[in-house]
Structure 1
Amino acid sequence: MATPLPAGLTAGAYAIDPSHSTASFTVRHAGIAKVRGTIAITSGVVTVGEDLESSSVTAELDAASVSTGDANRDGHLKSADFWHAEERPTWTFTSTSVKADGGDFVIVGDLTINGVTQTVELETEFTGTATDPFGNARAAFESELEISRADYGLTWNAALETGGFLVADKVKIALDISTIKQS
């Protein structure tokens, strides 16, 4: 059964606007504090079909753009200990399905980080449409997911004297996506 599009959203291709979109992450450090950072979304397309199920999403992110507010930590994240940003500079997401979830929806797809691809589910909210001052039709979305670092081969860590590890395995990712309608 086809699910109608959310009110205000029309079929067409919407380019992700990198200057108005963010990918942020949160991970526990030393088991007690949270470290937050961002990674640049460089490109992508949200293709809105005539119904929710015929829609799709692709996106690319730049692993070398990581920013946590600490240059040393950022350099370590870009290194072979974590993301191998020189060898694997691009993270990708390609949806495989879109399905309704109450008033929101879930985008299922393949997320590739560090050369490893895993299927993930993005809990997504359509936050609305607007026409910007330049006449561009915009649509915006917010998504969240949690991944395991180990699932992507991101296993570097250090044991703590008090037990546990320096970097938690679970990473929360939040996406705030602004798009511009192309067709």
Structure 2
Amino acid sequence: MATPLPTGLTTGTYVIDAAHSTASFTVRHAGISKVRGTIGITTGTITVGDDLDSTSVSAELDAASVNTGDENRDGHLKSADFWHAEEKPVWSFASKNISVDGDAYVITGDLTINGVTKTVDLPTEFAGTAKDPFGNDRAGFESELEISRRDFDLTWNATLETGGFLVGDKVKIALDVSAISQN
């Protein structure tokens, strides 16, 4: 039996509105604080079929657009120590399956960072739909997940004098997406 769409979401193609969507991350620094940043979403499409089984999501992000509020740190993140942004500028996600888990939706797909692809589960909340003042039909989605830097060959680190490492392995990623219907 096919899994029905969330109430209010209609079939068709939705384009992610990069100006009203955010991809952010948080990682431990020196074990005592957190560094937060954003990465620009460049493109994305949500193709809504008659049910979740025929629905798909794809998106691309620009690794060179990282912004942590510190120009030097951003430059280091773009370097070969971390993201190789010149050689591997595009991060991407392509769904393989969408399922329901209680009140949440789980979008399973391939996440590519730093040229490494891993299958991840994006627990996603459908925030609803709205018509904006310009007549556009919009749909909103929010998602959070945690990944390991090592899984994506992001292994640069420095040992602290007091023990431990400068950069934590676990990275929390949060997505807040607004998509515009193209129908």
TM-score in terms of structure 1 length: 0.99
Cα RMSD, aligned residues only? 0.6
Structure 1 counterpart of 2:179, one-letter code: T
Q: Percent identity?
A: 75
Q: Provide the secondary structure at the position in 2 that maps to 1:4.
A: coil
Instruction: For 1:91-170, list aligned pairs within 5 A.
Output: 91-170=91-170
Secondary structure of 2:175 counterpart? strand
Amino acid at match of 2:145: L
Q: Distance in 1 between matches of 2:15 and 2:153?
A: 30
Kindly tell me the number of residue pairs found equivalent between the two proteins: 183
For 2:12, the equivalent position in structure 1 comes to 12
1:6 CA drift (Å) = 1.1
Query: Secondary structure of the residue that 2:176 maps to in structure 1?
Result: strand
Quick one: distance in 2 between partners of 1:29 and 1:97? 34
Residue by residue over 1:21-68, the C-alpha shift from the partner in whole angstroms, topping out at 9 and shown as x without a partner, is 000000000011010000000001011111122111000000000000
**Aligned residue in 1 for 2:65:** 65
Distance in 2 (CA, whole Å) between partners of 1:36 and 1:117 is: 23
Moved >3 Å (runs of 4+): none
Q: Structure 1: which amino acid aligns with 2:154?
A: L
TM (norm. structure 2) is 0.99
Work out the CA distance in 1 between the residues paired with 2:125 and 2:39: 20
Gaps of 5+ in 1: none
Matches within 5 A, 1:36-55: 36-55=36-55
Amino acid in the other structure paired with 2:135: G
